[in-house]
């Protein structure tokens, strides 16, 4: 082995760490590592600290399972929110998406996953049991299933309905239909049929 | 079959999907002409994707595929059968996914397997039309036969002697029924009732609709599910994901759901899933 061909060990380590991140290939990992090498020490330690903070200070809200710095989280503590409705989502990012829509003022429940028969992911792998525990308090009247309109999302919604429907809690599902800017010609039959079912007076 | 033109069209059933990157998915398609293969669907997770709804698992779809350097790429997709009713029912969806995974495990890449494909299409069609778990039993029975693991149901699987009409041992490793004399030679198995044996024999020649219209009680259904499970298992090298999933569902069902002020405890155990 020629001496010049070996990269110093710390850089090697950084490259490998970046490479493990989603969507980062070997070339991007190298570029990022060499970019860090050129930044000031301040910037580098700020980045390192930010990563550590995320791991050390962020935890799950004991009620809604959303990520939070303080338990219970901001949504669960907010007295102005409607405590009789819970919107069930797959991931913390989905909470942000629904908040952005501005059309919802109730509480949330984050499952951190979906039932996935094809991958062997069952109810015990996601936070469904915590939802059932929350419902036992009796304050919640409606559960909105806002899982993705995919096979897995539907399976999860049907499962939750089967689990808590008999208890008299209303379980609803986000409407399915045409996204704005869509083309009827390319729409699949299932979506189109659902859109027709859910049509509304203009 | 596989000329090296730059693209091809085929129909198929989406068996599996796994997500990669921002918005792409890799789909496993079991196709009529090309056999089973993986290909990429670009941008299919974006709301505006034109192929999105057409490429959901369990959908029967007509696709156009461009050859890529490593993986091929879906360029067009249009639904043939969406199997909407099947996807709207948890039990039947699980049965279909179970059959899809079996088809995946029993086939190899890029080899045309028309009989298995047609069997899967029939089973999905039946499940979509309201068929019971018997459709999955029919699939197992015929899948074994097509792939060369046909269960020996007429004579002893070990000594080939004719069998008397009585309760008989069925053994997965032996590949079928085993007579009293050979029983010690069979490494494992379970005793099958005369009724169950008759149903299995009937299933070999019946159509799926005929087989599904048999009225079987729970005990018999359970017996058939266990026996066919025993026959399928030795062929697979590891447990199916869908089986693990359905076992997990069953375990979760045993936990009383909402007992507090809402529900009577006998209601908290809904229909047990399959199989």
C-beta atoms of A136 and B259 within 8 A: yes
Considering only the beta carbons, identify the residue of B17, B258, B267 that sits closest to A135: B258
pLDDT of residue B238: 86
Evaluate whether the domain defined by B7-82 bears CATH number 2.40.50.140.
yes
Same domain (yes/no): A86, A164: yes
Same domain (yes/no): A27, A84: no
CATH for A25: 1.10.8.420
Lowest-pLDDT choice from A2-6, A178-182, B21-25:
A2-6
* Distance separating the N- and C-terminal Cα atoms of chain B: 37
C-beta atoms of B246 and A117 within 8 A: yes
pLDDT of residue B273: 46
Considering only the beta carbons, identify the residue of B56, B79, B262 that sits closest to A151: B56
Residue A198 maps to a domain? no
Inform me whether the C-beta atom of residue B102 falls under 8 Å from chain A C-beta atoms.
no
Same domain (yes/no): A95, A47: no
- Give the Cβ contact number of residue B53 at 10 Å: 23
Q: Give the minimum alpha-carbon distance from A84 to chain B in angstroms, rounded to a whole number.
A: 15
Which of A188, A192, A196 has the highest number of chain B CBs within 10 A, making it the mutation to test binding with B?
A188
Same domain (yes/no): A87, A152: yes
Tell me the chain B residues in contact with residue A163 when contact means C-beta distances shorter than 8 Å: 257-258, 270
| Location of structure tokens 């399972």 | A65
Same domain (yes/no): A18, A84: no
Evaluate whether the domain defined by B86-250 bears CATH number 1.20.1440.120.
yes
Which residues in chain B come in under a pLDDT of 50? Answer: 1-2, 259-275
Tell me the chain B residues in contact with residue A132 when contact means C-beta distances shorter than 8 Å: 257-258
Query: Searching chain B, which residue's CA lies closest to the CA of residue A182?
Result: B48
Residue A187 maps to a domain? no
8 A C-beta contact, residue B167 and residue B225? no
Inform me whether the C-beta atom of residue B87 falls under 8 Å from chain A C-beta atoms.
yes
Same domain (yes/no): A119, A53: no
**DSSP sequence for B6-29:** SEEEEEEEEEEEEEETTTEEEEEE
Same domain (yes/no): A43, A84: no
Helices B114-128, B90-106: crossing angle, 10 deg rounding: 180
8 A C-beta contact, residue A65 and residue A95? no
Lowest-pLDDT choice from A64-68, A94-98, B250-254:
B250-254
Residue A118 maps to a domain? yes
Domain count of chain A?
2
Query: Searching chain B, which residue's CA lies closest to the CA of residue A163?
Result: B257
Whole-number Cα distances in Å, B263 to A63, A166, B96, B268 = 22, 7, 31, 7
Query: Searching chain B, which residue's CA lies closest to the CA of residue A138?
Result: B261
pLDDT of residue B264: 37
C-beta atoms of A124 and B252 within 8 A: yes
Domain extent listing, chain B: 7-82, 86-250
pLDDT of residue B256: 57
Closest Cα partner for A17 from A47, A58, A56, A53? A47
Residue A132 maps to a domain? yes
Residue A195 maps to a domain? no
Inform me whether the C-beta atom of residue B94 falls under 8 Å from chain A C-beta atoms.
yes
Query: Searching chain A, which residue's CA lies closest to the CA of residue B271?
Result: A162
Question: Does B86-250 match B7-82 at the fold level?
Answer: no
C-beta atoms of B248 and A167 within 8 A: no
pLDDT of residue A2: 42
Reply yes or no on whether the pLDDT at A3 is more than 90.
no
C-beta atoms of A193 and B84 within 8 A: yes
Same domain (yes/no): A46, A113: no
C-alpha B189, offset from chain centre: 22
pLDDT of residue B255: 58
Same domain (yes/no): A92, A27: no
Whole-number Cα distances in Å, B73 to A24, B15, B77, B243 = 21, 16, 11, 30
Considering only the beta carbons, identify the residue of A122, A129, A191 that sits closest to B249: A122
Lowest-pLDDT choice from A70-74, A160-164, B4-8:
B4-8
Inform me whether the C-beta atom of residue B254 falls under 8 Å from chain A C-beta atoms.
no
What rounded mean pLDDT belongs to chain A? 91
Considering only the beta carbons, identify the residue of A132, A154, A183 that sits closest to B258: A132
Reply yes or no on whether the pLDDT at A114 is more than 70.
yes
pLDDT of residue B271: 43
Tell me the chain A residues in contact with residue B58 when contact means C-beta distances shorter than 8 Å: 151
Tell me the chain B residues in contact with residue A116 when contact means C-beta distances shorter than 8 Å: 245
Which of A90, A94, A117 has the highest number of chain B CBs within 10 A, making it the mutation to test binding with B?
A117
Domain of residue A53 covers: 8-57
Same domain (yes/no): A28, A96: no
pLDDT of residue B258: 53
A/B interface, count of CB pairs below 8 Å: 122
C-beta atoms of A118 and B261 within 8 A: no
Whole-number Cα distances in Å, B54 to A131, B30, B41, B150, B242 = 32, 15, 11, 35, 22
Which of A114, A118, A123, A178 has the highest number of chain B CBs within 10 A, making it the mutation to test binding with B?
A118
**DSSP sequence for B132-184:** -THHHHHHHHHHHHHTT---B-SB-TTT-PBPPSS-EEEETTTTEEE-TTTGG
Q: Is the reported ipTM for this assembly greater than 0.95? A: no
Same domain (yes/no): A91, A19: no
Tell me the chain B residues in contact with residue A115 when contact means C-beta distances shorter than 8 Å: 245
């Amino acid at each position: 082995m020629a001496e010049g061909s070996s990269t110093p060990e710390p850089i090697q380590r950084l490259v490998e760490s970046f490479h493990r991140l989603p969507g980062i290939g070997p070339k991007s990992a190298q570029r990022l590592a060499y970019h860090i090498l050129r930044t000031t020490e301040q910037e580098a330690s700020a980045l390192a600290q930010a990563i550590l903070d995320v791991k050390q200070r962020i935890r799950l809200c004991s009620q809604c399972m959303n990520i939070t710095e303080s338990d219970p989280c901001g949504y669960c503590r907010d007295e102005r929110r409607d405590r009789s409705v819970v919107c069930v989502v797959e991931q913390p990012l989905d909470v942000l998406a629904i908040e952005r829509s501005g059309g919802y003022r109730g509480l949330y429940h984050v499952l951190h996953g979906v039932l996935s028969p094809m991958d062997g992911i069952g109810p015990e792998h996601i936070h469904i049991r915590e939802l059932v525990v929350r419902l036992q308090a009796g304050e919640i009247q409606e559960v909105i299933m806002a899982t993705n309109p995919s096979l897995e999302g539907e399976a999860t919604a049907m499962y939750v309905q089967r689990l808590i429907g008999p208890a008299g809690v209303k379980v609803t599902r986000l409407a399915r239909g045409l996204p704005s800017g869509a083309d009827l010609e390319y729409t699949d039959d299932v979506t189109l049929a659902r859109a027709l079912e859910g049509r509304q007076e203009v | 079959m596989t000329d090296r033109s730059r693209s091809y069209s085929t129909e198929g059933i989406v068996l599996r999907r796994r997500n990669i990157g921002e918005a792409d998915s890799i789909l496993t398609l079991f196709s009529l002409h090309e056999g089973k293969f993986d290909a990429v669907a670009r941008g299919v997770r974006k709301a505006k994707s034109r192929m999105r709804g057409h490429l959901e698992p369990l959908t029967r779809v007509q696709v156009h595929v461009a050859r890529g350097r490593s993986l091929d790429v879906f360029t067009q997709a249009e639904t043939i059968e969406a199997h909407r009713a099947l996807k709207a029912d948890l039990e039947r969806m699980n049965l279909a996914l179970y059959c899809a995974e079996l088809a995946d495990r029993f086939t190899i890449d890029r080899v045309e397997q028309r009989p298995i494909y047609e069997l899967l299409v029939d089973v999905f069609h039946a499940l979509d039309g309201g068929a019971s778990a018997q459709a999955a039993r029919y699939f197992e029975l015929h899948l074994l036969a097509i792939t060369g693991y046909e269960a020996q149901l007429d004579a002893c699987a070990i000594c080939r002697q004719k069998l008397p009409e009585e309760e008989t041992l069925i053994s997965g490793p032996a590949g079928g029924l085993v007579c009293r004399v050979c029983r010690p030679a069979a490494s494992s198995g379970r005793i099958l009732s005369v009724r169950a044996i008759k149903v299995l024999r009937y299933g070999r020649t019946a159509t799926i609709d005929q087989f599904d219209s048999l009225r079987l009680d729970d005990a018999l259904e359970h017996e058939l599910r266990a026996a066919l499970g025993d026959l399928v298992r030795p062929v697979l090298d590891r447990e199916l994901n869908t089986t693990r999933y359905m076992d997990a569902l069953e375990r979760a069902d045993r936990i009383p759901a909402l007992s507090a002020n809402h529900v009577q405890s006998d209601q908290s155990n809904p229909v047990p899933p399959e199989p």
